[in-house]
Amino acid sequence: MTPEENLASLGITLPPVATPIANYVPSVRTGNLLFVSGNGPSDDLPNRTGKLGADLTVEQGYAVARDVGIKLIASIQDAVGDLSRVKRIVKLLGMVNSAPDFADQPAVINGCSDLLVAVFGDAGKHARSAVGMGALPGDIAVEIELIAEVE
């Protein structure tokens, strides 16, 4: 199945790409690499703000990271048109707004990683960093950036 068919089977409709809130662009392509700017959760998503380990559970953070993954896929589609042009998701950097003693950042970012594999199959398997942050813009729970290899 194509990535678009996988999205449909998951019941996912991609949102429009958000307008950047500062002086940057949603993505930059150089050669066959697409660098997607950090995305946060949708404005209407429950539990979109707060610290993991204090205000939010790992399960809530996982759902936020999955939502961010949907927005990242929308950015890829906006940049290259057809998601079948994605040869590989190369790298994620997942940033988790974390309480000082929270250490389950990888479990949170799995929300995005699991989605990328469900949509792109083996091409969705990627290298990754999942790190805790003392704060994120707007107190969002998760921000993720992505690098993809595209045709």
Q: Confirm if 32 and 87 have CB atoms less than 8 A apart.
A: yes
> Does residue 28 belong to any structural domain of this protein?
no
- Distance from the first to the final alpha carbon of the chain: 18
The DSSP annotation for 101-150 comes to T---HHHHHHHHHHHHHHHHGGGG--EEEEEEES--GGGBSEEEEEEEEE
The whole-number pLDDT of residue 30 equals 98
The whole-number pLDDT of residue 80 equals 97
Run of H or E including 92: strand 86-97
**pTM (two decimals):** 0.97
The whole-number pLDDT of residue 142 equals 98
**What digits encode the pLDDT tens for the residues 13-39?**
999 998 888 999 999 999 999 999 999
> Does residue 23 belong to any structural domain of this protein?
no
> Does residue 60 belong to any structural domain of this protein?
yes
**What digits encode the pLDDT tens for the residues 44-101?**
999 999 999 999 999 999 999 999 999 999 999 999 999 999 999 999 999 999 999 9
> Does residue 20 belong to any structural domain of this protein?
no
The whole-number pLDDT of residue 59 equals 98
> Does residue 114 belong to any structural domain of this protein?
yes
The whole-number pLDDT of residue 98 equals 98
Q: Confirm if 26 and 18 have CB atoms less than 8 A apart.
A: yes
> Does residue 34 belong to any structural domain of this protein?
no
State the total domains in the chain. Answer: 1
The parent domain of residue 53 ranges over 3-13+41-150
> Does residue 134 belong to any structural domain of this protein?
yes
> Does residue 99 belong to any structural domain of this protein?
yes
CATH number of the domain bearing residue 70:
3.30.1330.40
